[in-house]
Amino acid sequence: MKNLALHWKILIGMVLGVAFGFLMVNFSGGKELVLDWVKPFGTIFINALKLIAVPLILGSLISGVSDLKDISKLSKMGGKTVMIYLVTTVVAVTIGLVLVNSFQPGSSISDKTRTELVSSYSESTQKYKDEAANQKRQGPLNALVEMVPDNIIGASSENKNMLQVIFFAIFFGVGLILLPEDKAKPVKDFFYSFNEVILKMIDLIMLAAPYGVFALLAALIVESPSADLFAALGWYALTVVLGLFMMIMIYTLLVYIFSGMKPKVFLQGISPAQLLAFSTSSSAATLPVTMERVHEHLGVEEEVSSFVLPIGATINMDGTSLYQAVAAVFIAQAFGMDLSLGVQLGIVATATLASIGSAAVPGAGMVMLVIVLAQAGIPEAGLALIFAVDRPLDMCRTVVNVTGDATVSMLVAKSEGRLGKPMVQDWDDNYKK
């Protein structure tokens, strides 16, 4: 076990966690045992990753922006980053709409199943509806207002305020660029050393990744709804997973076309981040690992990765956007609604914009989906139809979100002449140094 690469250890932890969860549900008191004595270790693991998300963004983004030395470089790189993210998001939503209209999974939902699901999850559904209603009441420019914090300490206390932290980090970095070199150097040296400490903390936390993943998946299995509900939504889940798989293929193709890197090398380099994204369902929690893999193993210079990846973890939600498109049309089909082309184009626009404001944490896509449903005139109560399988699909779409972030960072690095030779190797090699 000691000589195994980290991603294999994580995979083994995932398999054992699933097996242990299924075993425990067959024993009286097994579910309570997992929830009381196993799940807390998974929660601790996620909390440790979230703990360093804000410090990582502050340290890496301030260092990355200040190293640009030129405001024009910042605007040029930022423009490329946002444009590529928007294009891949539109592609993801379009793929989702094509698949859900082709397979029409909603037609397989019976009235009995629909009634049962709505009844079972009405309480959880209401929570998401209330949060979405609050966001809608705040006006069209609220997202722009929310991006500028009135207190950076307060903004840094919540991972969901990542856009505010990014705004401050970029603003701070721009200030360093405009200062004379002799005055800026002590501050830049501090944040460089600060960033190195955070990266070392990531190494230590990742040693516990296989155990954290084991605990997370064991708890997921014992908390899952009945198998009958999963079976009823099988076609819907298959449609989403197929769309997500197609996005992974598109990413590997883009990397190969623009950088010449073979798909095997790219996927091997990013696989630990993908597996962690799958188990945590959080792009923000996975961000430290994504940054480590992209810079150390795929050859993206830190100046690019520290700028592109934190932004991607906040605004690039291709997997979430694809899922929202499929889910919206699926719910409409289940209620017997026939959506026009115009309404579906509206779903494309809304899902794209909603993904930008979606927090990089588990379940955030549900809140954004309510807004998409409202825009398309689809009954919001239909949210309960997909609630039963949302968690495993959330895990899958987070993999796509993280892979998309890595892809865009490589494309931007290539365009800036800052993509070096990949060094795909075991994480354990770093730990032995």
Per-residue pLDDT of 79-120, as tens digits, reads 888 889 889 988 998 999 999 999 888 777 667 666 655 565
Reported as a single tens digit per residue, the pLDDT across 31-54 is 899 989 998 998 898 788 778 878
Q: Domains of the chain: which residue ranges?
A: 6-432
Which residue, 274, 338, 283, is CA-closest to 315?
A: 283
The model's pTM is 0.69
**Average pLDDT of the residues of the chain:** 80
Q: How many Å is the maximal CA-CA distance in the chain? A: 72
Position 404 scores a pLDDT of 94
Average pLDDT over residues 15-24: 90
Give whole-number Cα distances, 22 to 17, 42, 220, in Å.
9, 17, 10
CATH topology (fold) of 6-432: Proton glutamate symport protein (1.10.3860)
By residue count, the chain amounts to 433
CB-CB contact of 262 with 424 (8 Å): no
Which residue, 426, 327, 315, is CA-closest to 369?
A: 327
CB-CB contact of 88 with 316 (8 Å): yes
Higher-pLDDT residue of 161, 190 = 190
Amino acid letter, residue 314: T
Reported as a single tens digit per residue, the pLDDT across 51-71 is 887 888 788 778 777 776 667
Higher-pLDDT residue of 263, 63 = 263
Question: Per-residue confidence at 418, pLDDT binned at 50, 70, 90?
Answer: confident
Number of other residues whose CB lies within 10 A of the CB of residue 88: 24
Residue 161 has pLDDT above 50, yes or no: yes
* Cα–Cα distance for residue pair 203/56, rounded to 1 Å: 13
* Cα–Cα distance for residue pair 236/234, rounded to 1 Å: 5
Which residue, 131, 21, 105, 57, is CA-closest to 393?
A: 105
* Cα–Cα distance for residue pair 429/5, rounded to 1 Å: 9
